[in-house]
Amino acid sequence: MSPQGPVIRSIPEGDDRERLVCGDCGFVLYENPKVIVGAVCTWDGKYLLCRRAIEPRLGYWTMPVGYMELNETTEQGALREVWEEAQARARIDALLAIYSIPEISQVHMIYRAPMTGPDFAAGPESLEVALFAWEDIPWDDLAYPNVRWSLEYEREMRGKSGFAPRGRPDRE
Amino acid sequence: MSPQGPVIRSIPEGDDRERLVCGDCGFVLYENPKVIVGAVCTWDGKYLLCRRAIEPRLGYWTMPVGYMELNETTEQGALREVWEEAQARARIDALLAIYSIPEISQVHMIYRAPMTGPDFAAGPESLEVALFAWEDIPWDDLAYPNVRWSLEYEREMRGKSGFAPRGRPDRE
Ligand SMILES: [Zn+2]
Ligand SMILES: [Zn+2]
């Protein structure tokens, strides 16, 4: 039987918020918001998108994006995701956007990262990877609203630098 | 006896990295980087600083800053810290800086947040709170290098908007 782990909500002594406590061993889990890092990558004016091979939103298209890991910078995390999901190399150019999603305690940090070579391929979490001209982007099959927001802001900021990262356009 | 919790390093089945596993109940802890949020607050050209009442760096000065909590945006977290540590009200104006510290898996997001009134007081984690003119800032008694970096960048960007957040000046 797999362990239940910390699943009981209670306020530990000396604390002021509910935390998750393990009913088997008493361990208190201090949950924290999670950072998601990703990149809008381009080559020759076209956009690098991955079709998701995993749930949620299996079969839908996204820029390379995923959970930041321990012992990396946000920029390193974004480039790691570009490699893992799209087997492509890129360089960080600017921070395009920061999207807080407090309902699920996530902070998304999306970079602009031009590819440094033409190669790409589907990584283990992608069904396929492709470069799309703007007018060919599969707008109706994007995995999340923030994929569209990020692509649109990349296009708006093309050629510009030193700009502030965009927040959520649906909360402005 | 307090629980050991997940302290054994091993690679769970189907995973590709070492995680922390509990020797008592088998729970696997997926650790993630932590987000620290804070703000450089000003009133009448003076800077709001708190003298830390807790370790680490007890007795040293910092802007209001702390761990982002669940179910808040980064901006809400920064303003919550301003309230908790300095009992002051402010409004978010710009993102000043993002500091990744991969050695300890932290991402710091520091905002520019002018105070919306003159009141402040020491919160439970502060020994004292004060407004300092630039030339009176206790430079030799700041808690961390990023306090200085943030104050300096706030001053450099005074009156400007729409700028990119600064990274770590020691890694540029
Ligand atoms: Zn347990
Ligand atoms: Zn346990």
Which residue's entry shows tokens 């998750």? A20
Average pLDDT over residues A90-107: 97
Q: What tens digit of pLDDT does each residue of B143-167 get?
A: 999 999 999 999 999 999 999 999 9
Pair of tokens at residue B93: 């104006």
Phi, psi of B135 (to 5 degrees): -75, -10
What's the gap in Å between B3 CA and the centre of ligand 1? 8
Q: Which CATH number fits domain B1-31: 3.40.30.10, 3.90.79.10, 2.20.70.10, 3.40.50.2300?
A: 2.20.70.10
Q: Is the pLDDT of residue A14 over 90?
A: no
Q: What tens digit of pLDDT does each residue of A25-66 get?
A: 888 888 899 999 999 999 999 999 999 999 999 999 999 999
- The domain ranges of chain A are 1-31, 34-161+163-167
Alpha helices in B61-162 (DSSP H): 74-86, 145-156
Picking from A29, A107, A164, the nearest residue to B94 by CB comes out as: A164
Return d(Cα B39, Cα B92) in angstroms, integer: 8
Return d(Cα B38, Cα A164) in angstroms, integer: 18
> What pTM, to 2 d.p., does this model score?
0.92
* pLDDT cut 90: percent of chain A above it: 83
Hey, what's the torsion of the CAs at A73, B172, A98, A92, to 10 degrees? -80
ipTM of the complex: 0.91
Pair of tokens at residue B53: 């009442």
Give the closest residue to B1 by CA, choosing from A158, A72, A9, A26.
A26
Other CB atoms within 10 A of residue B156 CB: 11
Q: What pLDDT is stored for residue B14 in this prediction?
A: 80
Q: What pLDDT is stored for residue A17 in this prediction?
A: 82
Q: What pLDDT is stored for residue A26 in this prediction?
A: 87
Q: Is the pLDDT of residue A1 over 60?
A: no
pLDDT category at A23 given cuts 50, 70, 90 is confident
Return d(Cα A149, Cα A162) in angstroms, integer: 19
Return d(Cα A38, Cα A62) in angstroms, integer: 10
Flag if A25 and B3 touch (Cβ within 8 Å).
yes
The reply to whether omega before A124 is within 30° of 0 (cis) is no
Contacting residues of B for A166, CB less than 8 Å apart? none
Q: Which CATH number fits domain B34-164: 3.90.79.10, 3.40.50.2300, 3.40.50.720, 1.10.600.10?
A: 3.90.79.10
Q: What pLDDT is stored for residue B1 in this prediction?
A: 56
Q: What pLDDT is stored for residue A24 in this prediction?
A: 87
Q: Does B117 touch chain A (CB under 8 A)?
A: no
Average pLDDT over residues B108-122: 98
CATH 3.40.50.1820 given to domain A34-161+163-167: no
Q: What tens digit of pLDDT does each residue of B20-72 get?
A: 898 888 888 888 999 999 999 999 999 999 999 999 999 999 999 999 999 99
Q: Does B73 touch chain A (CB under 8 A)?
A: yes
